[in-house]
Amino acid sequence: MKKLILKSKHLFTHFENKVNEVSDWTAEVSASPWFLISHIIWWSCWIGFKVEKFPFGLLTLIVSLEAIILSSLILSSGNREAEVEKRIARKTLNASSETNIMTEEILETLRDMAEDVRLLRDEEEDI
């Protein structure tokens, strides 16, 4: 049973990685001008060569399904990128906080050293 669960997790992870690769590729390709131009040509040919009669039910169905699939894949890609950016921002914030703490400690040490120097000067002046 344990082997089956591990194998299922492995298959799910593999499938998820492939979907992520496809969504990243889709986001990249659909953002290109050639994607838009090819679709304009395709729709123009569909309507111009009268593949079907008005109101173009099949074309509407194809374009609607494409929009649904593209939007899902692009949103998935964007969500992953946003998650990576959040992780980077958290690490940067942690590093910044640690730097601030260290700076405050150094500043406190310098203040203590300055006070010690003042005390030594005062003692020398008294002598």
Residue the block writes with tokens 């123009």: 44
pTM: 0.61
100: left (phi over 0), alpha (psi -120 to 50) or beta: alpha
Q: By mean pLDDT, which of 28-32, 85-89, 115-119, 121-125 is the weakest?
A: 121-125
**What is the C-alpha to C-alpha distance for residues 35 and 70, in angstroms, rounded to an integer?**
12
Q: Range of 31's domain?
A: 2-126
Query: In this predicted model, what pLDDT tens digit does every residue of 73-86 receive, in sequence order?
Result: 899 889 989 999 99
What domain count does the chain have? 1
| Rounded distance between C-alpha atoms, residue 26 and residue 70, angstroms | 7
- 126 residue type, one letter: D
Q: Phi, psi at residue 53, to the nearest 5°?
A: -85, 155
Q: How is residue 47 written in tokens?
A: 């309507």
Q: What is the pLDDT of residues 97-116, one digit of tens each?
A: 999 999 999 999 999 999 98
